[in-house]
């Protein structure tokens, strides 16, 4: 009968075996941490592993250095042949001020005084917004001086109904260009106003530059105006005659022109006089309601002369004025959800 040997070694037997293996390894080659740790059981603690490595691995003098050259050499300097060669070219060892009496690199450099706090961002200090307002002011002055009679004539035509057979005065090419400028100016000023509202009430950290944010807002407002002009043309083509539709489109753009003049003063007050958000919201609602009242007045003068058409007037007003305005507001909110970084 063969007696099975006991597989459990005592601590003394393990130490004797390890010492014998360490003596053999010392004469052959330097031990590696992997070899030393392989002698320990798998459940050895980190402290036991560290003690084992300290006991069997001792730092020794390096007798063999690598003969590979240094490939990470300085720009403009040839590749080194030995790591012991630390000589540098003169332009790395000396600078322009190295022979100056005031040059003391051994002294600790430092900043004197107290570090100041960065100036917080304000719309009034934004160079892009200021440049935009200044450009709008200069171009508006030029446009008003060149087409003053056209602007006054458009205002009179808005409140006066043309008689049958009256000759319609066509606009010149320069007047058409000025009309386009006034529409773009209104879009920019609405975009600046909504930009201020977003920074005050929603958030002030965007994923892109702020001039691009204002440009995107202006593009949304321009799309809103073009959509309404298309809806007006479509409704006029279906329900009304061509002449009344043309008169209404001129009146609609007249409202946009004068809204741009009003919004310019509005933007100046809120940017440079730091008015509260309550005043800003109240004046914005007042401007919107005033524009809608003027639109309603012109509709009554042009299309709905009889009281029996009041239902159609309310229907058209909701479909062509209220719903697009709500869609614009909701669209701007969705744009903010994409552009704003919410913390």
Q: For residue range 215-260, list pLDDT tens digits in order.
A: 999 999 999 888 888 888 888 787 777 787 788 888 888 888 888 8
What are the phi and psi torsion angles at 196 (to 5°)? -65, -45
CA dihedral 89, 93, 95, 100 (to 10 degrees): -130
Distance CA 324, CA 233 (A): 15
How many residues comprise the chain? 343
Most confident of 102-106, 117-121, 181-185: 181-185
In this prediction, residues 301-323 reach a mean pLDDT of 73
SS3 77: coil
What are the phi and psi torsion angles at 312 (to 5°)? -65, -35
pLDDT of residue 193: 86
pLDDT-based confidence at 88, cuts 50/70/90?
low
Choice among 81-90, 106-115, 122-131, 238-247 with the minimum mean pLDDT: 81-90
In this prediction, residues 152-174 reach a mean pLDDT of 68
Q: For residue range 51-71, list pLDDT tens digits in order.
A: 888 888 887 776 776 666 556
Distance CA 195, CA 189 (A): 10
Q: For residue range 120-137, list pLDDT tens digits in order.
A: 778 888 888 888 889 888
Domain residue ranges in the chain: 127-162+171-339
Structure tokens at 283: 């004046």
Distance CA 71, CA 201 (A): 57
Listed in sequence order, the residues at least 6 apart from 10 whose beta carbon sits closer than 8 Å to its beta carbon are: none
Distance CA 256, CA 183 (A): 6
pLDDT of residue 4: 43
**Could you give the percent of the chain with pLDDT greater than 70?**
74
| pTM flag (> 0.85) | no
What single DSSP character describes residue 93?
H
Q: To the nearest whole number, what is the mean pLDDT of the chain? A: 76
SS3 340: strand
In this prediction, residues 17-34 reach a mean pLDDT of 61
SS3 206: strand
pLDDT of residue 23: 47
Orientation angle between helical segments 210-239 and 127-146, nearest 10 degrees: 40
More confident residue, 49 or 92: 49
More confident residue, 7 or 111: 111
Alpha-carbon distance values, 303 to 126, 158, 243, 248, 306 (Å): 46, 14, 12, 10, 9
């Amino acid at each position: 009968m063969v007696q099975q040997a006991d597989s459990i070694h005592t601590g003394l037997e393990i130490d004797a075996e390890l010492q014998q293996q360490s003596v053999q390894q010392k004469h052959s080659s330097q031990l590696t941490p992997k070899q030393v740790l392989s002698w320990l059981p798998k459940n050895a603690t980190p402290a036991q592993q560290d003690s084992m490595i300290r006991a069997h691995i001792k730092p020794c003098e390096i007798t063999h250095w690598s003969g590979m050259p240094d490939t990470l050499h300085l720009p403009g300097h040839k590749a080194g042949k030995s790591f012991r060669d630390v000589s540098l070219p003169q332009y790395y060892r000396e600078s322009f001020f190295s022979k100056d009496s005031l040059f003391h690199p051994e002294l600790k450099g430092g900043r004197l005084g107290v570090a100041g706090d960065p100036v917080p961002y304000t719309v009034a200090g934004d160079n892009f917004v200021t440049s935009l307002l200044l450009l709008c002011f200069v171009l508006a002055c030029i446009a008003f001086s060149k087409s003053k009679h056209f602007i006054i004539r458009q205002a009179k035509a808005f409140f006066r109904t043309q008689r049958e057979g009256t000759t319609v005065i066509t606009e010149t090419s320069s007047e058409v260009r000025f009309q386009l400028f006034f529409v773009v100016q209104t879009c920019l000023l609405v975009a600046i106003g909504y930009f201020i509202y977003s920074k005050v009430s929603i958030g002030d950290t965007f994923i892109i530059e702020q001039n691009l944010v204002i440009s995107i807002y202006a593009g949304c407002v321009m799309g809103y105006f073009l959509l309404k002009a298309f809806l007006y043309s479509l409704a006029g083509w279906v329900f009304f005659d061509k002449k009344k539709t043309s008169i209404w489109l001129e009146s609609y753009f007249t409202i946009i022109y004068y809204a741009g003049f009003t919004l310019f003063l509005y933007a100046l007050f809120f940017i440079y006089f730091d008015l509260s958000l309550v005043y800003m919201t109240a004046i914005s609602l007042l401007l919107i309601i005033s524009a809608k009242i003027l639109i309603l007045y012109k509709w009554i003068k042009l299309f709905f002369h009889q009281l029996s058409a009041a239902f159609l007037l309310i229907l058209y007003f909701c479909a062509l004025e209220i719903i697009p305005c709500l869609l614009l507001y909701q669209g701007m909110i969705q744009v903010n959800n994409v552009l704003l970084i919410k913390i």
